[in-house]
Structure 1
Amino acid sequence: MLLAALAILAGFALLIWSADRFVYGAAALARNLGVPPLVIGLTIVGMGTSAPELLVSALAAWDGNPGLGIGNAIGSNITNIGLVLGATALVAPLTVHSKLLKRELPLLLVAMLFGYWLLSDGRLARAEGAALLLGLALLVAWMVWSARRARTDDALAEELLDEQPTPTSTAAALGWFALGLLVLLGGARMLVWGAVHIAHTLGISDLVIGLTVVAIGTSLPELATSIVSARRGEPDIALGNVIGSNLFNVLGVLGLPGLIAPGPVPHAVLTRDYPLMLALTLLLFVFAYGRQPRRINRAEGGVLLGVFIGYECWLYWTA
């Protein structure tokens, strides 16, 4: 148990560090190859905070633990809205004014409903996993096309343009990219091994470990980024990080287990976890669009955080 817990902690630390280096190297390499900065910002940089979830989900499914990957995808979305946005709004109320965010939040609801429809038969087949990943590819293409049409109006796109890496040689970019990828894989491997070992030792399901320990740990980059953005007076970025990450999770992280290890979906996912994820997203929609000016205040942040804490307690007692 002690070794497994240390593996989880080390895996989290390696994932957080390596995701940053992986994104830095990939973005610098893309820029050196002539990829437009806006495309880099909305794809490579935008996917950066979801890289840990993607690797963990893929390795868990490859090792025969798809429940851990499914739990990671859904649990990360619940954590992002309940813990990340809830805690961020308590630090600094979030004013919503970006046109890009107004389009992305309804799109997130559509993506989640699409995912639930695919899972509603109790199985995640390979074709359904492929459909979710195709949806992710279409989403990225739409984001780039949309941002190019309205780049001067979208605060999120402008901020992503500011996140470009400092100039570096192609050799150095390749080095950071390769090192980041290798450490990402190593960190994800340690995390999956430790999580599965603890789950088996305690006699609880991989799904619950994915929904709790793994989901919270892989959401730490979003929590740090969102709180820093809110304190700097950039609430669009705090919201944008969460909405973008949740879109990647429901389409990419949830799709990978189906593509790699298709099989049955735990009944609790359809009756407890996925409905709560949808309910939190609808609650966020109501809070964000319920008044003028549109904002998520501290009281509403407290509601989101309270729902998250109640859900974690529910999982604890039922597990």
Structure 2
Amino acid sequence: MLTYSVATLAGFVLLMWGADRFVVGAASTARNMGLSPLLIGLTLVGMATSGPEIFVSVAASLRGDPALAAGNAIGSNIANIGLVLGMTALVMPISVRSVTLRREMPTLLAVTLILTMTFINLRLGRVEGTLLLITLVLVLYWLVVIGSRSGESDPIALDYASEIPGDVPMRKAIVWLVVGLLTLLAGANLLVWGAQNLAVTFGVSELVIGLTVVAIGTSLPELAVSLVSAFKGEHDMAIGNIIGSNLFNSLAVVGVAGIIHPAVFDRELLTMHLPVMIGMTLALFLMTYNFGGNSRIGRIEGAMLVGAFISYHVWILTR
């Protein structure tokens, strides 16, 4: 068990470092090619911060364990809102001012419902995976449209402009991109191997391991980015990081898993875990949609989100 635990922990470390280098490489490459910081932030950064989940999904599916991949995606969505947003708001209350985020939120709600409908028959196959990836392409197009409509004075555009490196030479950016990809691949394989064997050792399902241990671990990059963004006063970017990650988790991570290795799931996925994800997403929508013009997620709301996250995990483990 010690070996499996060390392998899992080492996998997390490699995924965190690899994700950071991958974000730097991808964002710097795109900026050197002339893309605006807002478009890079809405598309590439969101995809890059979901790199750990995507690579874990591929590794798990190739090893014949799509349940771990699906659990990782759903659990990460729950962790991003309950743990990442909750902890960030507890440390530093978040003000939401961006019009861009207001346009993104309905998209996240729609994608969450599409993902739920995908599992309505408790089967994830190549047809469902393909539909999710097609939806991903449409969402990417919509994000580009949103980015084009938003002005460069939008608070989140200013946040991305200040954070995305603009002085990284193209050769160095590509090197970091490749190094990040290779590190993500190594970390994902190590993590999946350790997590699978831990599931066998403790006698729990791979789905539960994916929803808990793996999901929390792969959400650590989002937690780091959101906390740093909040401390810098880049509150909209802290929220945008979570929205982008959840979009890619729902579509890319699950879609890839379905195409590589079709699977059938237990009913508890539909009756217990997906409703929690929907509830968390709805809570995020109500807190950030800016019904009155300017919304604020304070420490009380943060404590409620963290409390709900902890209660959910206690519920899983006690069952």
TM beyond 0.5: yes
Residue 254 of structure 2 corresponds to 254
Alignment of 1:61-80 (within 5 A): 61-80=61-80
Deviation for aligned residue 1:152: 2.5
Deviation for aligned residue 1:121: 1.1
Alignment of 1:107-122 (within 5 A): 107-122=107-122
Task: Measure, in 2, the Cα distance between the counterparts of 1:24 and 1:192.
Answer: 25
Q: Secondary structure at the match of 1:266?
A: coil
Residue 87 of structure 2 corresponds to 87
State whether residues 11 and 187 of structure 1, in contact with CA within 8 Å, keep that contact through their aligned partners in structure 2.
yes
- The farther-off stretch of 57-66 and 20-29 is 20-29
Note closer, same or farther for the CA distance 1:33–1:234 as it changes in structure 2 (3 Å cut). Answer: closer
Residue 182 of structure 2 corresponds to 182
Task: Measure, in 2, the Cα distance between the counterparts of 1:296 and 1:37.
Answer: 25
Is 1:14 equivalent to 2:14 in the alignment? yes
Q: Secondary structure at the match of 2:80?
A: helix
RMSD over aligned Cα atoms? 1.7
Deviation for aligned residue 1:94: 1.6
State whether residues 81 and 304 of structure 1, in contact with CA within 8 Å, keep that contact through their aligned partners in structure 2.
yes
Deviation by residue 1:231-268 (Cα, 9 ceiling, x = unmatched): 22222111111111111111111211111111212322
Is 1:136 equivalent to 2:141 in the alignment? no
Note closer, same or farther for the CA distance 1:228–1:171 as it changes in structure 2 (3 Å cut). Answer: closer
State whether residues 156 and 234 of structure 2, in contact with CA within 8 Å, keep that contact through their aligned partners in structure 1.
no
Q: Secondary structure at the match of 1:165?
A: coil
Deviation for aligned residue 1:218: 0.5
Q: Which amino acid aligns with 1:200?
A: V
Q: Which amino acid aligns with 1:301?
A: G
Q: Secondary structure at the match of 2:233?
A: coil
Note closer, same or farther for the CA distance 1:173–1:287 as it changes in structure 2 (3 Å cut). Answer: closer
Deviation by residue 1:196-245 (Cα, 9 ceiling, x = unmatched): 01001111100000001000000011111112222222221111111111
State whether residues 37 and 157 of structure 2, in contact with CA within 8 Å, keep that contact through their aligned partners in structure 1.
no
Unaligned runs of 5+ in 1: none
Unaligned runs of 5+ in 2: none
Deviation by residue 1:46-67 (Cα, 9 ceiling, x = unmatched): 3221110110011101110000
Residue 296 of structure 2 corresponds to 295
State whether residues 41 and 163 of structure 1, in contact with CA within 8 Å, keep that contact through their aligned partners in structure 2.
no
Task: Measure, in 2, the Cα distance between the counterparts of 1:308 and 1:215.
Answer: 12
State whether residues 129 and 255 of structure 2, in contact with CA within 8 Å, keep that contact through their aligned partners in structure 1.
yes
Note closer, same or farther for the CA distance 1:237–1:30 as it changes in structure 2 (3 Å cut). Answer: closer
Residue 216 of structure 2 corresponds to 216
Task: Measure, in 2, the Cα distance between the counterparts of 1:176 and 1:123.
Answer: 38
State whether residues 10 and 190 of structure 2, in contact with CA within 8 Å, keep that contact through their aligned partners in structure 1.
yes
State whether residues 60 and 66 of structure 1, in contact with CA within 8 Å, keep that contact through their aligned partners in structure 2.
yes
Task: Measure, in 1, the Cα distance between the counterparts of 2:28 and 2:289.
Answer: 37
TM-score (norm 2): 0.94
Alignment of 1:93-172 (within 5 A): 93-172=93-172
Deviation for aligned residue 1:162: 2.7
Residue 310 of structure 2 corresponds to 309
Deviation by residue 1:99-134 (Cα, 9 ceiling, x = unmatched): 111111121111111111121011112111111112
Q: Which amino acid aligns with 2:296?
A: R
State whether residues 67 and 266 of structure 1, in contact with CA within 8 Å, keep that contact through their aligned partners in structure 2.
no
Task: Measure, in 2, the Cα distance between the counterparts of 1:43 and 1:291.
Answer: 25
Deviation for aligned residue 1:14: 0.7
Deviation for aligned residue 1:153: 4.4
Task: Measure, in 2, the Cα distance between the counterparts of 1:136 and 1:86.
Answer: 27
